[in-house]
Amino acid sequence: MSGAKPLHPGLFTWPDQNPSLLGSLCLDCGEHAFPSQRSCRACSGQNTRDAELGNAGTLWTWTIQSFMPKTPYLTDETPETFRPYGVGYVELPCGLKVESRLRENTPDQLRIGMPMQLEIISVRKDEKGDELVTFQFCAAKETH
Ligand SMILES: [Zn+2]
């Protein structure tokens, strides 16, 4: 996917061999935010900086969507090719819960609390033919 462009810039480090979600950290109170915020929602302070939020978390809750995705998840799918997909909230080590599409798409593949990892997926091509990518989470691979 070298040469691929993020569908929405600034959500994850890219290009990167080991992409990380990008958010912000409030230097006054320590609150994280995703996507990055210039003003802290916890203390209203303006003293924030961009922060890498990592590429792993645990599944906080999930559901299976059985209708076509909306922006920013539009793909080349049509009603005929569309397959249901998982969507969930992944809790990051910093405590943030990030809404994300999930690779897994059947209930027997998903359970609350399971380890998840970030992955970058192709969405579609833009008008110039360049590949557009976005993030989703999938079940973490066993690392023995
Ligand atoms: Zn703050």
Q: How far, in Å, is the centroid of ligand 1 from the Cα of 112?
A: 29
> What integer best gives the mean pLDDT of the chain?
92
pLDDT digits (tens, 9 = 90+) for 15-64: 999 999 999 999 999 999 999 999 999 999 999 999 999 999 999 999 99
Q: How far, in Å, is the centroid of ligand 1 from the Cα of 33?
A: 10
| Contact by Cβ (8 Å): 133, 101 | no
Q: Which domain holds residue 47?
A: 21-54
Give the Cβ contact number of residue 68 at 10 Å.
13
Task: Specify the DSSP element, H or E, that contains 24.
Answer: strand 21-26
49 shares its domain with 62: no
40 shares its domain with 101: no
Q: Rounded to whole angstroms, how far apart are CA atoms 63 and 99?
A: 11
105 shares its domain with 90: yes
77 — pLDDT class (breaks 50, 70, 90): confident
Ion ligand 1: protein residues whose beta carbon lies under 5 Å: 26, 28-29, 31, 40, 42-43, 45
Dihedral in degrees, nearest 10, Cα atoms 133, 13, 10, 136: 50
66 shares its domain with 99: yes
Q: How far is CA 94 from the centre of its chain?
A: 15
Q: How far, in Å, is the centroid of ligand 1 from the Cα of 5?
A: 31
78 shares its domain with 123: yes
